[in-house]
């Protein structure tokens, strides 16, 4: 088991004093599993402060993806797990969730309402208002609108 560093311990203490338990999630990761080393969490004094800090952290993560060549129509409603791998040129629309364990190729398009969870998308895939879980899409595939793909290789 790894030792907790000082900053992580301070963040954990601030969150606990605000009533934020280890079951709370930040970008699909329970705090019991990983404390984001984001300075904004040090100032948390209430649950409202926690949600505001979590949103600032979410936007920091999105900016990091943008700096690596991922394109966004808007950051509104976009939530991406920090462990996701997203290829350059991929376009993400508002209201898209990319959960843990996702690998997305280059030049994909993820339309509003798309939810990906442990999904692998080849280059050039398009997903429109659909949910893809534990599945693999070959390059160039299109899914949706309003589809559910679970445990498939397409």
Using the predicted structure, report yes or no on whether residue 31 has a pLDDT greater than 90.
no
Using the predicted structure, report yes or no on whether residue 4 has a pLDDT greater than 90.
no
Mean confidence (pLDDT) of the chain: 93
Can you tell me the mean pLDDT for 55-63? 95
Strand partners, 148: 131
Which of the two residues, 86 and 35, has the higher pLDDT score?
86
Can you tell me the mean pLDDT for 123-150? 97
Instruction: State what percent of residues in the chain have pLDDT above 90.
Output: 77
Using the predicted structure, report yes or no on whether residue 3 has a pLDDT greater than 70.
no
Strand partners, 133: 117, 150
Q: Write down the domain spans for the chain.
A: 1-67, 70-154
Beta 79-80 vs 142-143: how paired, if at all?
unpaired
Number of residues in the chain: 154
* 10/112 Cα distance (integer angstroms): 37
Cis-peptide into 13, omega within 30 deg: no
Q: How many CB atoms lie under 10 A from the CB of residue 7?
A: 14
- What pLDDT shows up at residue 119? 98
Which range scores top for mean pLDDT: 10-14, 32-36, 103-107, 148-152? 103-107
Q: Which two tokens stand for residue 86?
A: 């997203």
* 3-state SS, residue 39: helix
Can you tell me the mean pLDDT for 29-44? 86
Using alpha carbons, select from 81, 108, 106, 105 the residue that is nearest to residue 92. Answer: 108
Using alpha carbons, select from 47, 11, 46 the residue that is nearest to residue 31. Answer: 11
Structure-derived torsion over alpha carbons of residues 121, 74, 101, 10, reported in degrees to the nearest 10 = 170
Cβ pair 65, 82 in contact under 8 A: no
- What pLDDT shows up at residue 1? 43
Q: Which CATH class is domain 70-154?
A: mainly beta
Beta 85-86 vs 142-143: how paired, if at all?
unpaired
């Amino acid at each position: 088991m790894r030792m907790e560093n000082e900053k992580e311990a301070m963040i954990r203490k601030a969150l606990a004093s605000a009533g934020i338990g280890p079951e709370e999630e930040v970008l699909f990761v329970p705090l019991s599993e990983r404390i984001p080393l984001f300075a904004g969490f040090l100032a948390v004094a209430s649950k409202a402060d926690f949600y505001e800090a979590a949103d600032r952290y979410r936007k920091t993560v999105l900016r990091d993806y943008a700096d690596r060549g991922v394109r966004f129509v808007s950051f509104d409603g976009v939530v991406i797990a920090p462990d996701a791998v997203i290829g350059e040129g991929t376009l993400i629309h508002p209201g898209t969730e990319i959960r843990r364990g996702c690998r997305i190729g280059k030049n994909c398009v993820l339309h509003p309402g798309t939810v990906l969870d442990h999904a692998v998308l080849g280059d050039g895939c398009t997903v429109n208002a659909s949910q893809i879980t534990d599945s693999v899409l070959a390059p160039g595939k299109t899914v949706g609108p309003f589809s559910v793909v679970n445990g498939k290789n397409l």
